[in-house]
């Protein structure tokens, strides 16, 4: 029996309510963090680490310096993630819509001087780093993660946007005590946007470059923590900006933090009490290494020497190590597997086709030749009476839909659905709850989908 089918064009993404709960600073904050040593620009000639000008800098908070610290390892639910026990399921380009919130305490100083061009440049840097291309990614170990970033063109209300917000507030001088105050100033739905907050300072000095949260600590099926996102000191945003700092001038801090945002750990497995020991990051093609990497200060640090540690050459070119920006160029295949798995597990709403349309990132997706083959997604699944289809087809196609029940009986069929790109709603009032196989027949291919109809 053929049931009633109705297709309607529309945007089918589900808006998720922001979690209403606010959380205290401590207790749930999980962040991988880093501190590394380096000389500030005015003290680069110093070589004595006891010198008072010698400062600790960090891409992210770490260890005893990290007031956000939680157990990073316990936040990683399914280690180890390796090429042996996890296989890439697709070759899609995952595009992350990005919004950059600049929060500054003085418009004439610090973050207030960060230009739109410098912010756009950082997005370019991230795309080069994650894409293994450009002038700074010539190393031999890294691979293209097939993850890309789009500075959005639409705000949460659908209005045109540069993808950059600017907020004047004394909170721009961020401390551990006011993280939520900063993020409460401006925050876009974290299920739809990767939120960067670029601030004057973090914890009272320019020494801390940034921090992020592992998605396993932030995201559940039903909620997302309001801290989710990445905080960066403005000096570390953009490549070779006038605000940038010698050894960290290539914009690799946001790259590193975004690695955490995708569930990557530091290569040494992060800190434990006591002397550094050989540790690892639960990725099988990043060699174990010992403790935080302490780079030599600029300019000699630019030599990018590799220490021999734990029977391995330390992979200081890894974006997740502490080495200087000019030494970095590598996400390994194992790291890429872990990141892409994390995106599918925790951040899939960001990369969904409807969200890319809503955020204005669809064009990039299209331009990037993202889909090497035609794609049809279904959401939600399980469904009740409505199935949303997301078509992304290279050209307009005439599709047929056939539903078979668990016993192989044809229960629904509809022909002559004209589709190319867009969302379609399918109303299924006659399908009883249960499991179905859906064959979508196109002129050149048949797609097989499993569909679950739940109780209504």
Contacts of Zn ion in 366-425 (CB under 5 A): none
- Asked if residue 31 binds Zn ion (CB under 5 A), the reply is no
Q: Toward Zn ion, which CB reaches closer, 60 or 98?
A: 60
441 strand-pairing partners: 400, 446
Q: Toward Zn ion, which CB reaches closer, 62 or 436?
A: 62
Interface region with Zn ion, contact rule CB under 5 A, candidates 25-33, 164-172, 334-342, 382-390 = 25-33
Q: Toward Zn ion, which CB reaches closer, 295 or 451?
A: 295
Q: Toward Zn ion, which CB reaches closer, 62 or 81?
A: 62
Gyration radius of the chain's alpha carbons: 24
DSSP 158: S
- Asked if residue 103 binds Zn ion (CB under 5 A), the reply is no
Cα–Cα distances in angstroms (integers) from residue 456 to residues 13, 319, 380, 381, 430, in the given order: 20, 48, 14, 13, 11
Query: What would you measure as the largest C-alpha separation in the chain, in angstroms?
Result: 83
CB of 34 to Zn ion, least distance (A): 4
Interface region with Zn ion, contact rule CB under 5 A, candidates 33-41, 79-87, 144-152, 350-358 = 33-41
The residue with tokens 């229960």 is 411
CB of 386 to Zn ion, least distance (A): 42
Contacts of Zn ion in 52-81 (CB under 5 A): 60
- At CB < 8 A and 24+ separation, what contacts does 113-117 make? 113/234, 113/243, 114/198, 114/234, 114/237, 114/238, 114/241, 114/243, 116/162, 116/164
- Cα separation of 355 and 373, whole Å? 20
- Asked if residue 208 binds Zn ion (CB under 5 A), the reply is no
- Asked if residue 34 binds Zn ion (CB under 5 A), the reply is yes
| Residue 434 three-state SS | strand
- Asked if residue 151 binds Zn ion (CB under 5 A), the reply is no
- Asked if residue 214 binds Zn ion (CB under 5 A), the reply is no
CB of 81 to Zn ion, least distance (A): 17
Q: Toward Zn ion, which CB reaches closer, 211 or 436?
A: 211
Interface region with Zn ion, contact rule CB under 5 A, candidates 24-32, 94-102, 311-319, 350-358 = 24-32
Contacts of Zn ion in 186-205 (CB under 5 A): none
Query: Of 157, 162, 165, 147, which is closest to residue 96 (Cα–Cα)?
Result: 147
- Cα separation of 35 and 52, whole Å? 17
- Asked if residue 339 binds Zn ion (CB under 5 A), the reply is no
CB of 370 to Zn ion, least distance (A): 28
Element (H, E) at 343: helix 333-346
Would you tell me which residues interact with Zn ion (CB under 5 A)? 32, 34, 60
């Amino acid at each position: 029996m053929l049931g009633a089918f109705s297709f309607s064009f529309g945007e089918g993404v589900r808006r998720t309510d922001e979690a209403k709960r606010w959380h205290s600073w401590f207790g749930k904050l999980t962040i991988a963090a880093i501190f590394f040593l380096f000389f500030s620009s005015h003290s680069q000639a110093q070589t004595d680490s006891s010198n008072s000008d010698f400062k600790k800098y960090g891409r992210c908070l770490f260890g005893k310096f990290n007031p956000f610290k939680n157990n990073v390892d316990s936040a990683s639910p399914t280690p180890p993630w390796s090429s042996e026990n996890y296989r890439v399921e697709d070759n899609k380009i995952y595009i992350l819509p990005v919004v950059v919130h600049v929060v500054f305490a003085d418009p004439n100083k610090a973050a207030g001087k960060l230009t739109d061009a410098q912010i756009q440049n950082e997005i370019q840097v991230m795309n080069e780093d994650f894409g293994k291309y450009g002038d700074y990614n010539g190393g031999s170990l890294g691979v293209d993660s097939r993850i890309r970033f789009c500075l959005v063109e639409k705000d949460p209300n659908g209005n045109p946007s540069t993808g950059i917000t600017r907020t004047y507030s004394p909170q721009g001088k961020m401390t551990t005590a006011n993280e939520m105050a900063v993020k409460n100033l401006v925050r876009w739905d974290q299920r739809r946007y990767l939120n960067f907050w670029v601030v004057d300072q973090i914890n009272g000095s320019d020494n801390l470059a940034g921090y992020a949260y592992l998605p396993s600590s932030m995201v559940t099926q039903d909620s997302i923590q309001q801290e989710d996102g990445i905080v960066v000191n403005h000096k570390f945003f953009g490549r070779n900006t006038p605000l940038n700092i010698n050894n960290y001038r290539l914009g690799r801090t946001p790259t590193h933090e975004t690695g955490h945002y995708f569930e990557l750990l530091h290569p040494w497995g992060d800190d434990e009490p006591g002397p550094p020991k050989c540790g690892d990051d639960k990725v099988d093609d990043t060699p174990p290494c010992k403790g935080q990497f302490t780079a030599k200060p600029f300019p000699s640090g630019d030599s990018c020497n590799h220490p021999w540690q734990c029977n391995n050459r330390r992979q200081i070119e890894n974006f997740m190590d502490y080495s200087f920006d000019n030494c970095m160029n590598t996400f390994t295949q194992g790291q890429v597997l872990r990141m892409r798995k994390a995106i599918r597990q925790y951040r899939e709403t960001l990369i969904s086709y409807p969200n890319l349309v809503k955020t204005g990132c669809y064009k990039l997706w299209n331009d990037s030749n993202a889909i090497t083959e035609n794609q049809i997604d279904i959401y939600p699944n399980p469904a009740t009476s409505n199935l949303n289809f997301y078509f992304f087809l290279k050209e307009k196609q005439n599709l047929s839909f056939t539903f078979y029940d668990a016993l192989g009986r044809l229960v629904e069929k509809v022909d002559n659905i004209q589709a190319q790109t867009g969302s379609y709603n399918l109303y299924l009032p006659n399908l009883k709850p249960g499991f179905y196989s859906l064959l979508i027949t196109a002129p050149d291919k048949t797609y097989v989908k499993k569909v679950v109809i739940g109780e209504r």
